[in-house]
């Protein structure tokens, strides 16, 4: 069952929202779902044509690798822009910058999603969010106890 199936007669036919918002959310979803094919890492320091890199929910680069309660947690948030997005640089202000998120506990992928305020939710903690990836990973360890993450999570569809 696909969540997008039932929209007929529902919201639809709307002119697109601001280009920036479209790109940001589309690529957030793509990256989190692990299906983003045409994404190119860029440096956060690269020039931002719209001058809006510092928007509220833009996430800075985050990289950690540590042992927490005996579990190895690792994570990176890599800012990405869609390949070819520079051609839209003059449109609606700016190119969207969204992070490629990769978090693991003992080598198993921890699927992470984002809320509108930029905080993170994981499959382990679905009803609370955390401001950083390292806090998300530590909270997952707390909730897991001695359990291992599933090798294959069906959450991404």
Q: Which is nearer to other proteins, 45 or 146 (CB)?
A: 146
Site for other proteins contains 150 (CB under 8 A): yes
Binding mask 130-149 for other proteins (x = CB under 8 A): -x-------x--xxxxxxxx
Distances (CA, A) of 15 to 11, 96, 122: 11, 19, 32
Which tokens hold the place of 68? 């927490």
What 3-state class would DSSP assign to 72? strand
Structure tokens at 1: 């069952």
Cα 62 to the chain's mean position, in Å?
Answer: 12
Using the rule CB under 8 A, is 14 a contact of other proteins? yes
Is 10 one of the binding residues for other proteins (CB under 8 A)?
yes
User: Residue 9, class by beta-carbon neighbours within 10 Å (0-12 exposed, 13-18 middle, 19+ buried)?
Assistant: exposed
- Cα 120 to Cα 42, 89, 114, distances in angstroms: 21, 27, 5
**Least Å distance between CB 44 and other proteins?**
19
Q: Which of 80, 95, 103, 113 binds other proteins (CB under 8 A)?
A: 113
In the bound state with other proteins, the residue whose beta carbon lies nearer, of 5 and 45, is 5
- Tell me whether residue 59 or residue 75 sits nearer to other proteins (CB atom): 59
Cα distance between residue 149 and residue 147, in whole Å: 7
Q: Is 84 in the site for other proteins (CB under 8 A)?
A: no
Nearest CB to other proteins, comparing residues 47 and 143 = 143
- Give contact residues for other proteins (rule: CB under 8 A): 1-12, 14-15, 17-18, 21-22, 24-26, 28-29, 57, 111, 113-117, 119, 121, 123-129, 131, 139, 142-151, 153-155, 157
């Amino acid at each position: 069952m696909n969540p997008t199936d039932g929209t007929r007669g529902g919201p639809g036919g709307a002119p697109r929202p601001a280009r920036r918002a479209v790109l940001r959310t589309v690529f957030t979803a793509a990256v989190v779902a692990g299906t983003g094919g045409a994404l190119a890492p860029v440096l956060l320091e690269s020039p931002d044509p719209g001058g809006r890199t510092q928007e509220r929910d833009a996430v800075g680069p985050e990289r950690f690798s540590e042992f927490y309660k005996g579990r190895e947690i690792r994570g990176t948030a890599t800012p990405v822009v869609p390949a070819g997005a520079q051609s839209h640089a003059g449109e609606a202000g700016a190119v969207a910058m969204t992070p490629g998120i990769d978090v693991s506990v003992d080598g198993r992928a921890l699927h992470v999603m984002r809320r509108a305020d930029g905080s993170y939710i994981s499959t382990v903690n679905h009803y609370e969010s955390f401001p950083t990836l390292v806090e998300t990973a530590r909270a997952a360890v707390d909730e897991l106890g001695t359990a291992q993450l599933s090798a294959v999570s069906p959450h991404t569809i």
